[in-house]
């Protein structure tokens, strides 16, 4: 077990592409860190640099109190779980687990003890003599985990380990990985592009965008206080509504509407007199009939386009603006004029229906229109 | 394998017919002819044949010259197979490590394979020429008075060098593509599991390469046994005299130079049996250890 620290770590490929731009962070002993971001954001590169599979262009990576920049992957005391498991096809499950230990000169009976123990924890004891080819995807996944566990390393590195499993198995393995990590207490770095996986697993989330850290924090605070429009739209599903607004006479309105023309959106001035990007999560809208808008609140009128029931609740896809049929003037076609609103499953809204919603002041987020950064309040 | 369905039961045989005809005319028929004539002594001028039973076989197997040649063939085959496989493997591993130049490197080496064996033999002979051969000059630097075509061992050395040189590119291509077919993540997993690169090669890379290696083993043994004929012919300059020969060349000598068709047929049959047994043994004992991914 160990801490991991990254100091201004960069990765520049031969072609001049900067895949990772000066990343610094400290990972505590036993912590479960999830690197999350869209494909190409540098999260896998970063993980592979920690593993030693990718050279570090500049900066330092330390595991424990040892700088590992020039140390071979095998000597870094880490174990990695790969996306496609990377099991040795010519070895039995037992030998797959034992291979890394044999190469390190661990005594035979100790290897046997550890393999049996890992097999017991992961419930793969029945397959120890089989070749990986004879296993199902979920079983292979367990063997890959087992190979990491038997090593008893300072850190586990996971590179999208669940992305090859079907949805049901993914949820099951996700829970199991979390339980396992907590009981072993091994420092872990986990890479995924799945925000739900990231939210559920992480002690701390690291949101990466274009090779740089966009935000670090525990899942709930990242969700509640996204540092930028990128984080706001990436974490949470459906994504946070981001609506560009202008400020006129101390009130925020849609860019396309003049204050005079009977606005369909009216919000507080969170941009200190200038326009900003207004963010509201789908679940924070309340029907105006239940809770009329107070002074700092947002109120808006929308026209329903699609209702998407997901069971426990429904998502209402709507365009901002009412009376679209009658006057037809106020609704623009830009994507910003569309919102997603969570409504109770019992709500039976019809397409074309005009509805009014409010959101309380403390549920509103404001971001700079040009930089996308959160505007502090 | 997928099972194909045919509307008429005769159709598959019809589709196979051209291939079967080729196999029959060029493989089975000559083999049958060889087996038949191995039991006869043929008049050198073609005026008939006498049935002699197994006499041709007993003569051949009782001949000390034949046994000497068989022994040389065995040694020659083992050395050529081992060297051409291992050198090609080393080259392929090195090429695989520096992928950027690989395509040029690959095609440059492949050129050698486009050379016909007699031409390769001829070019090889140039290297070993008594007057202009650079390899002879090189050997002379180390005090080795190389006399290809005169000294038995020098001739054998030249044959092995040329035969190996000729076969390396072929093996190289197969090994390289085999190496490149090994998934990257497997190598990376091994890099985390094992510090020693050499040990990784033996425990992960080589087993993954085993199907390729097994295929090449059979191909190379067959090559060394049969396809080196042209090289031997050129190196010995068609004058076998006291020079080392392989069994195939002996078949040719006895059959076409000495006009002993019966004896030469008996030798061919023996060769056929040897190759059959060898291939069966390889499949029986080596292939079971090969993991097909």
| Residues of chain A contacting B189 with CB distance shorter than 8 Å | 80, 82, 86-88, 147
| Residues of chain B contacting A82 with CB distance shorter than 8 Å | 185, 188-189
B293 touches chain A (CB under 8 A): yes
pLDDT band at A65 (very low <50, low <70, confident <90, very high): confident
Pairing of strands A276-280, A241-248: antiparallel
pLDDT at B154 over 80: yes
pLDDT digits (tens, 9 = 90+) for B252-275: 888 888 888 888 899 999 998 988
**pLDDT on residue A328:** 41
pLDDT at B126 over 50: yes
Mean pLDDT of B224-249: 83
Tell me if A88 and B199 make a contact (CB, 8 A cut-off). Answer: no
| Residues of chain B contacting A78 with CB distance shorter than 8 Å | 192
CATH superfamily of B44-289: MetI-like (1.10.3720.10)
pLDDT digits (tens, 9 = 90+) for A108-121: 999 999 999 999 98
pLDDT digits (tens, 9 = 90+) for B36-64: 888 988 777 777 778 888 888 888 888 88
Query: Which residue, chain included where needed, has tokens 């949805």?
Result: A167
| Residues of chain B contacting A103 with CB distance shorter than 8 Å | 193-196, 199
pLDDT digits (tens, 9 = 90+) for A158-167: 999 998 888 8
Tell me if A74 and B193 make a contact (CB, 8 A cut-off). Answer: yes
Tell me if B189 and A80 make a contact (CB, 8 A cut-off). Answer: yes
- In chain B, % helix, strand, coil (3-state, to 5) comes to 75, 5, 20
Of B112 and B206, the structure prediction assigns the larger pLDDT to B206
pLDDT at A335 over 80: no
| Residues of chain A contacting B201 with CB distance shorter than 8 Å | none
Tell me how far apart the alpha carbons of residues A242 and A46 are, in angstroms, rounded to a whole number: 30
| Residues of chain A contacting B195 with CB distance shorter than 8 Å | 72, 74-75, 103
pLDDT band at A270 (very low <50, low <70, confident <90, very high): confident
Q: What percent of chain B has pLDDT over 90?
A: 24
Question: Looking at chain A, which residue has its C-alpha nearest residue B190?
Answer: A100
**pLDDT on residue B139:** 84
Question: Looking at chain B, which residue has its C-alpha nearest residue A76?
Answer: B192
**pLDDT on residue A331:** 43
pLDDT band at B103 (very low <50, low <70, confident <90, very high): low
Tell me if A74 and B291 make a contact (CB, 8 A cut-off). Answer: no
Report the complex ipTM. 0.83
A53 touches chain B (CB under 8 A): yes
Structure tokens at B85: 């496989």
Tell me if B193 and A103 make a contact (CB, 8 A cut-off). Answer: yes
DSSP B138-198: HHHHTT----BTTBHHHHHHHHHHHHHHHHHHHHHHHHHHHHHTS-HHHHHHHHHH-S-HH
**pLDDT on residue B101:** 55
pLDDT band at B96 (very low <50, low <70, confident <90, very high): confident
| Residues of chain A contacting B183 with CB distance shorter than 8 Å | 84, 86
Question: Looking at chain B, which residue has its C-alpha nearest residue A89?
Answer: B293
How much is the mean pLDDT over chain A?
A: 89
| Residues of chain A contacting B191 with CB distance shorter than 8 Å | 52-53, 72-74
| Residues of chain A contacting B210 with CB distance shorter than 8 Å | 90
**pLDDT on residue A332:** 44
Sign of CA dihedral A64, A66, A68, A69: positive
Structure tokens at B42: 């043929």
Tell me how far apart the alpha carbons of residues A296 and A264 are, in angstroms, rounded to a whole number: 16
Tell me if B193 and A100 make a contact (CB, 8 A cut-off). Answer: yes
Question: Looking at chain B, which residue has its C-alpha nearest residue A83?
Answer: B185
B-facing residues of A in 74-93 (CB < 8 A) are 74-75, 78-80, 82-84, 86-90
pLDDT band at B109 (very low <50, low <70, confident <90, very high): low
The helices-and-strands tally (H runs, E runs) of chain A is 8, 20
Q: Where do you find CATH 2.40.50.140 in chain A?
A: 241-367
The SS3 of residue A302 is strand
| Residues of chain A contacting B190 with CB distance shorter than 8 Å | 88
Tell me how far apart the alpha carbons of residues B249 and A194 are, in angstroms, rounded to a whole number: 68
The answer to whether A152 touches A211, Cβ cutoff 8 Å, is no
| Residue A264, φ and ψ in degrees, nearest 5 | -90, -10
Question: Looking at chain B, which residue has its C-alpha nearest residue A87?
Answer: B186
Tell me how far apart the alpha carbons of residues A98 and A114 are, in angstroms, rounded to a whole number: 9
pLDDT band at A333 (very low <50, low <70, confident <90, very high): very low
Q: Which of A310-319, B17-26, B118-127 shows the lowest mean pLDDT across its residues?
A: B118-127
pLDDT at A334 over 50: no
Q: Within 10 A of B204 (CB to CB), how many other CB atoms are there?
A: 23
Question: Looking at chain A, which residue has its C-alpha nearest residue B204?
Answer: A88
Per-residue CA distances from A322 to A64, A77, A341 (Å) = 60, 62, 16
B-facing residues of A in 9-48 (CB < 8 A) are none
Partnered with residue A224 across adjacent β-strands are none
Burial class for A70, CB neighbours closer than 10 Å (0-12, 13-18, 19+)? exposed
**pLDDT on residue B3:** 66
Q: What is the distance in angstroms between the Cα of A14 and the nearest Cα belonging to chain B?
A: 12
Query: Which residue, chain included where needed, has tokens 């992957």?
Result: A73
User: Domain A4-228, what fold?
Assistant: Rossmann fold (3.40.50)
Tell me if B192 and A80 make a contact (CB, 8 A cut-off). Answer: yes
Pick A74's closest partner by Cβ from B183, B194, B208: B194
The answer to whether A212 touches A27, Cβ cutoff 8 Å, is no
- Chosen from B100, B190, B193 to mutate, greatest number of chain A CBs within 10 A: B193
Q: What percent of chain B has pLDDT over 70?
A: 93
| Residues of chain A contacting B196 with CB distance shorter than 8 Å | 103
Question: Looking at chain B, which residue has its C-alpha nearest residue A156?
Answer: B192
| Residues of chain A contacting B293 with CB distance shorter than 8 Å | 89
DSSP A104-130: TT--HHHHHHHHHHHHHHHT-GGGTTS
Q: What percent of chain A has pLDDT over 90?
A: 67
- Chosen from B189, B211, B213 to mutate, greatest number of chain A CBs within 10 A: B189
Smallest CA-to-CA distance from A267 within A291, A284, A243 is with: A243
The answer to whether A295 touches A327, Cβ cutoff 8 Å, is no
Tell me if B195 and A82 make a contact (CB, 8 A cut-off). Answer: no
Architecture of domain A241-367: Beta Barrel (2.40)
Mean pLDDT of A304-324: 85
**pLDDT on residue B115:** 75
Of B261 and A204, the structure prediction assigns the larger pLDDT to A204
Element (H, E) at B107: helix B102-113
Sign of CA dihedral A292, A296, A300, A306: negative
A-facing residues of B in 168-207 (CB < 8 A) are 183, 185-186, 188-196, 199, 203-204, 207
**pLDDT on residue A11:** 93
Burial class for B273, CB neighbours closer than 10 Å (0-12, 13-18, 19+)? exposed
């Amino acid at each position: 077990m160990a801490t991991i620290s990254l100091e201004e770590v960069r990765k520049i490929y031969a072609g001049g592409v900067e895949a990772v731009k000066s990343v610094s962070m400290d990972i505590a002993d036993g912590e479960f860190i999830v690197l999350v971001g869209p494909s190409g954001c540098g999260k896998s590169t970063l993980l592979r640099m920690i593993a030693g599979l990718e050279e570090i262009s500049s900066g330092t990576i330390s595991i424990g109190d040892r700088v590992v920049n020039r140390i071979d992957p095998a000597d870094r005391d880490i174990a990695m779980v790969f996306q496609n498991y990377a099991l040795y096809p010519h070895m039995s499950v037992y030998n797959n687990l034992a291979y890394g230990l044999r190469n390190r000169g661990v005594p035979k009976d100790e290897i046997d003890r550890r393999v049996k123990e890992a097999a017991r924890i992961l419930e793969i004891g029945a397959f120890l003599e089989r070749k990986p080819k004879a296993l199902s995807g979920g079983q292979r996944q367990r063997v890959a985990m087992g190979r990491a566990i038997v090593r008893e390393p300072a850190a586990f590195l996971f590179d999208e380990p669940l992305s090859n499993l079907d949805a049901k198995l993914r949820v099951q393995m996700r829970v199991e990985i979390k339980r396992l990590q907590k009981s072993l207490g091994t420092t872990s770095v986990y890479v995924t592009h799945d925000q739900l996986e990231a939210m559920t697993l992480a002690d701390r989330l690291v949101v990466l965008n274009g090779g740089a850290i966009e935000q670090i924090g525990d899942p709930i605070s990242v969700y509640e206080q996204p540092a930028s429009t990128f984080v706001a739209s990436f974490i949470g599903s459906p994504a946070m509504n981001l609506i560009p607004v202008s400020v006129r006479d101390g009130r925020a309105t849609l860019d396309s509407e003049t204050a005079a023309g009977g606005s369909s959106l009216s919000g507080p001035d969170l941009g200190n007199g200038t326009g900003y990007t207004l963010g509201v999560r789908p679940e924070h809208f309340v029907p105006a009939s239940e809770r009329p808008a107070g002074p700092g609140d947002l109120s808006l009128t929308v026209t329903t386009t699609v209702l998407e029931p997901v069971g426990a609740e429904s998502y209402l896809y709507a365009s901002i603006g009412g009376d679209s049929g009658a006057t037809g003037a106020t609704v623009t076609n830009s994507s910003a004029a569309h919102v997603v609103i969570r409504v109770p499953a019992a709500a039976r809204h019809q397409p074309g229906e005009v509805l009014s919603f409010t959101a309380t002041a403390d549920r509103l987020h404001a971001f700079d229109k040009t930089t996308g950064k959160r505007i502090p309040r | 394998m997928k099972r194909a369905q045919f509307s008429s039961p005769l159709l598959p045989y019809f589709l196979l017919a051209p291939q079967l005809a080729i196999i029959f005319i060029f493989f089975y028929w000559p083999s049958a002819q060889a087996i038949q004539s191995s039991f006869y002594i043929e008049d050198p001028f073609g005026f008939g044949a006498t049935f002699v039973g197994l006499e041709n076989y007993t003569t051949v197997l009782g001949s000390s010259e034949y046994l000497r040649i068989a022994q040389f063939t065995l040694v020659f085959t083992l050395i050529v197979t081992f060297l051409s496989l291992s050198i090609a493997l080393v080259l392929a591993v090195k090429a695989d490590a520096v992928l950027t130049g690989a395509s040029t490197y690959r095609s440059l080496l492949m050129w050698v394979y486009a050379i016909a064996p007699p031409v390769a033999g001829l070019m090889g002979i140039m290297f070993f020429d008594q007057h202009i051969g650079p390899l002879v000059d090189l050997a002379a630097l180390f005090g080795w008075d190389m006399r290809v075509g005169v000294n038995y061992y020098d001739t054998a050395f030249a044959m092995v060098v040329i035969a190996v040189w000729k076969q390396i590119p072929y093996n190289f291509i197969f090994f390289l593509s085999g190496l490149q077919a090994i998934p990257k993540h497997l190598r990376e997993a091994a890099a985390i599991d094992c510090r020693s690169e050499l040990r990784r090669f033996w425990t992960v890379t080589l087993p993954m390469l085993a199907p390729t290696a097994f295929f090449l083993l059979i191909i190379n043994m067959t090559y060394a046994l049969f396809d080196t004929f042209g090289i031997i012919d050129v190196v010995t300059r068609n004058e076998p005299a006291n020079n080392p020969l392989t069994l195939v060349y002996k078949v040719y000598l006895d059959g076409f130079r000495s006009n002993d068709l019966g004896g030469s047929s008996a030798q061919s049959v023996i060769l056929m049996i040897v190759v059959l047994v060898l291939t069966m043994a390889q499949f029986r004992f080596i292939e079971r250890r090969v993991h097909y991914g």
